[in-house]
Structure 1
């Protein structure tokens, strides 16, 4: 069974030392500016979180201008606290402008963190594949042909192939005889069609069989 040997990393040790010192300096500056109790400890956490969010945005790619801006803001706050607490500032008489900066820092950090997190580009969405067209845009498109309807002639000659039921022929003969008895003339195709109520081609076929 192999055992993992933990080796100290000089860079990691330096990062821990720098973070601890910067954390303490931010706490001392916030406490001197009137943020006592737990509020003084919240300020270094807020600065470090903004640094981490900006660094992750820089590593993720995409638009880096905003990430660099907020990274420099958080870095300035951290370095400013280190310099201010190094004896260059009287912590017993903090100026009013510094108190204003410390009091307004939570809103600035919240705005920066929101823009960095919710403004990050989405990397889990696949790009939409490009659809290639097989027909050129300038090529004319053939219009769909309209269905061809059978044309009906206005006057068609009697067709010998039109099948007429014998019962219909017998009925038509009675109608024709009745018309001849009443008028003395043979019945014409138009009258026969009107009396029987059949289409014109069928009436012409019937009339052809009555002659």
Structure 2
């Protein structure tokens, strides 16, 4: 459940263990605008948008914010998507930042990183570009294992109370809100919907 950064990383990792992975995503993240635009077209599109809603990512309010990829998380992304860093740096004009010479962390007047003995390179990027390029890489590398169901919302968990397990979900297409929900079963259900998750509420209701 969820096809943003958390869902993308989770799906990529699970390709090692599962033959088929289904991602339920509420927005139209596989539109031609996202998936077929050149880096320059994507930047132009990004700069002309008025809000995350006009971007088609109403659930990601921080879409415009600068993001920093640091430490272990950055390493994991490079392991899952070996071409990601090269494409971001050379095609999307993203750049590395030196934690030792180009950044300063100040808390209550104290500089926290002024005496580093080892340098760390952090990648500075906006959420929109990062997520879009990661999704392209996911589809390029693992497209034969992953099925997307966009413009769809999970509305309920399918729970086997006798075994105390979640064995599937019920979802509904956003453009057909009056239609019946669709059942989807799986061996392993993961919620990557973030702060607006309803899983805890649904589990309590069961």
Determine if the TM-score, normalized by the shorter chain, exceeds 0.5: no
Structure 1 or 2, whichever has the larger Rg, is 1
**Larger helix proportion of the pair:** 1
Q: What TM-score, normalized by structure 2, do the two folds share?
A: 0.20
**Larger strand proportion of the pair:** 2
Q: What TM-score, normalized by structure 1, do the two folds share?
A: 0.19
